[in-house]
């Protein structure tokens, strides 16, 4: 059962004005010192309503406290990296014990072997693993391996999946591509998810030139029957490497990722986020014949794969080992699906009661719920997204998504559902009377845009 940190007498008010004065002062300092005011675009001020907690001071379970001392139930949980819960004691203790022995040495540490063994035990079809600190490191490494293995340059990605890497090969395909040479951008091709014929056309158009195909096995939309297996077959027929990005789906759809859930094993796969419950650790895994090109036991040109100073930081690997142990001993994934399903049922009820079908909806699997907002003309709306987040924050819930953790208790879910109902009452009024009447400040904006 998940750890619950909510005190028995604690209840959130249905709506309250919160003091954000310290956050406002910190925001001013942050933008003076840091481009964008933070180190991750998805956490930026432009992604949240103007009246929102700007800085988090601490977290426990699924609850966080901001710099002004305001308490919130949190969803998204560190961009889906914290699956067990904030400050989850067993993981912290494992990292602490390892930290006391030293964090980084001149030669490898034995914990690297143990972590490799534990990761490979839970990922089907993976023979070797290499660790890094974040997802972009390992997705880019997978792309490099695919190119080295095939001797080709082009990479195909799913164009309707939001993010694969901070590196040029992906960012060059977005609106936010300033500073990236066109020659680099032109090496990445795109096809729609669930459209096998479009991928086949790319292979026909660029015959013998596509090194690899990278996609999330499942993002917001489930794969059509036969799509994933069809992609794998097509890659093998065309001599390309299939890469699954399991940053979100790994340790959430299944411990072994969406590939285990759907029964399709890629040639390479990348994991991160939940693997260390918030500690910085990511993993590139895959077939030995491809992975070995990054090592010493082959007679081909050498591949500079992953070689980072902090890539095998010992306490992060200890956190990963402990996280996997907890997943082994407790049905973490089952709990995520269960709590997400409970939240979906309660939110869907509120949607119906407020006559908001078609205007507000939940999408995705229960273990990874997101919401969609539409205006009075049923068009996707950032203004209504902002309004909903604004009203949830007023009621003590930070919800850029409804991604649950192992620490979201039934009571947390029920309190969230109450907040959702009240927020949707305001949403309904805004549809009838105009969103500007209820929205305080500017709407949020997409990360990938050409100009601020």
369-388 tens-digit pLDDT: 999 999 999 999 999 999 99
Indicate if 95 and 161 belong to the same structural domain: yes
Tell whether 449 is covered by a domain.
no
Q: How far apart are CA 258 and CA 123, in angstroms?
A: 10
Indicate if 311 and 283 belong to the same structural domain: yes
> What's the pLDDT tens digit per position in 280-336?
999 999 999 999 999 999 999 999 999 999 999 999 999 999 999 999 999 999 999
> What's the pLDDT tens digit per position in 241-250?
999 999 999 9
Indicate if 180 and 315 belong to the same structural domain: yes
Mean pLDDT of all residues in 48-62? 95
* 47 secondary structure, DSSP code: G
Tell whether 245 is covered by a domain.
yes
DSSP tally for the chain: helices H, then strands E: 15, 13
pLDDT at 10 over 70: no
Indicate if 26 and 159 belong to the same structural domain: no
Rounded to 5 degrees, what angle do the CA atoms 346, 350, 354 make?
170
Give the pLDDT score at 233.
Answer: 98
Mean pLDDT of all residues in 228-236? 98
pLDDT at 2 over 90: no
pLDDT at 91 over 90: yes
CATH number of the domain that residue 305 is part of: 3.40.640.10
pTM of the model: 0.94
Do residues 52 and 389 make contact, with C-beta atoms less than 8 angstroms apart? yes
Give the pLDDT score at 14.
Answer: 64
On average, the pLDDT of the chain sits at 94
Which residue range is the domain that position 129 belongs to?
89-329
Q: How far apart are CA 223 and CA 220, in angstroms?
A: 10
Do residues 340 and 368 make contact, with C-beta atoms less than 8 angstroms apart? yes
Tell whether 16 is covered by a domain.
no
> What's the pLDDT tens digit per position in 346-363?
999 999 999 999 999 999
> What's the pLDDT tens digit per position in 112-136?
999 999 999 999 989 999 999 999 9
Tell whether 401 is covered by a domain.
yes
Indicate if 72 and 106 belong to the same structural domain: no
CATH number of the domain that residue 347 is part of: 3.90.1150.10
Indicate if 322 and 340 belong to the same structural domain: no
Mean pLDDT of all residues in 386-402? 97
Give the pLDDT score at 434.
Answer: 97
The model's confidence at residue 448, banded by pLDDT at 50, 70 and 90, is confident
Indicate if 207 and 307 belong to the same structural domain: yes
Q: How many domains does the chain have?
A: 2
The model's confidence at residue 1, banded by pLDDT at 50, 70 and 90, is very low
Mean pLDDT of all residues in 69-78? 96
Indicate if 366 and 387 belong to the same structural domain: yes
Tell whether 116 is covered by a domain.
yes
Indicate if 324 and 335 belong to the same structural domain: no
Indicate if 319 and 335 belong to the same structural domain: no
Indicate if 53 and 104 belong to the same structural domain: no
Indicate if 147 and 32 belong to the same structural domain: no
């Amino acid at each position: 059962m998940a750890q619950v940190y909510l005190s028995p007498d604690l209840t959130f008010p249905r709506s309250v004005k919160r003091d954000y004065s310290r956050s406002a002062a910190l925001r001013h300092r942050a933008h003076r010192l840091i481009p964008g005011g933070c180190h991750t675009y998805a956490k930026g001020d432009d992604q949240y309503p103007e009246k929102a907690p700007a800085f988090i001071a601490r977290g426990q379970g699924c609850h966080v406290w901001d710099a002004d001392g305001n308490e919130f139930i949190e969803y998204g949980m560190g961009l889906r990296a914290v699956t067990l819960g904030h400050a989850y004691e067993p993981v912290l203790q494992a990292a602490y014990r390892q930290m006391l022995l030293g964090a980084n040495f001149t030669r490898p540490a034995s914990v690297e072997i143990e972590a490799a063994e534990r990761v490979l035990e839970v990922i089907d079809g993976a023979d070797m693993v290499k660790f890094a600190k974040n997802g972009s490191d390992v997705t880019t490494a997978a792309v490099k391996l695919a190119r080295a293995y095939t001797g080709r340059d082009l990479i195909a990605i799913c164009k309707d999946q939001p993010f694969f890497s901070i590196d040029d090969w992906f960012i060059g395909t977005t609106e936010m591509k300033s500073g990236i040479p066109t020659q680099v951008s032109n090496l990445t091709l795109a096809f729609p998810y669930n459209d096998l014929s479009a991928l086949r056309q790319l292979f026909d158009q660029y015959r013998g030139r596509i090194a690899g195909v990278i996609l999330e096995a499942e993002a917001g939309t489930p794969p059509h029957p036969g799509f994933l297996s069809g992609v794998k077959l097509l890659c093998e027929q065309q001599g390309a490497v299939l890469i699954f990005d399991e940053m979100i789906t790994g340790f959430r759809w299944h411990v072994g990722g969406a590939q285990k859930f759907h029964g399709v094993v890629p040639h390479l796969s990348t994991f991160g986020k939940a693997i260390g419950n918030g500690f910085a650790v990511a993993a590139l895994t895959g077939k030995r014949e491809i992975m070995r090109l990054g090592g010493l036991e082959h007679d081909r040109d050498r591949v500079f794969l992953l070689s980072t100073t902090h890539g095998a930081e010992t306490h992060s690997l200890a956190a990963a080992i402990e996280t996997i142990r907890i997943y082994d001993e407790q049905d973490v994934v089952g709990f995520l699906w269960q709590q997400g399903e409970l939240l979906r049922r309660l939110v869907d009820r509120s949607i119906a009661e407020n006559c908001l079908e078609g205007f507000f909806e939940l999408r995705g699997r229960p273990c990874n719920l997101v919401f969609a907002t539409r205006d009075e003309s049923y068009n996707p709306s950032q203004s209504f997204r902002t309004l909903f987040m604004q009203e949830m924050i007023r009621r003590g819930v930070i919800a850029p998504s409804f991604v649950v953790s192992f620490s979201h208790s039934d009571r947390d879910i029920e309190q969230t559902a109450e907040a959702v109902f009240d927020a949707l009452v305001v949403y309904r009024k805004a549809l009838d009377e105009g969103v500007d009447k209820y929205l305080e400040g500017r709407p949020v904006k997409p990360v990938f845009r050409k100009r601020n």
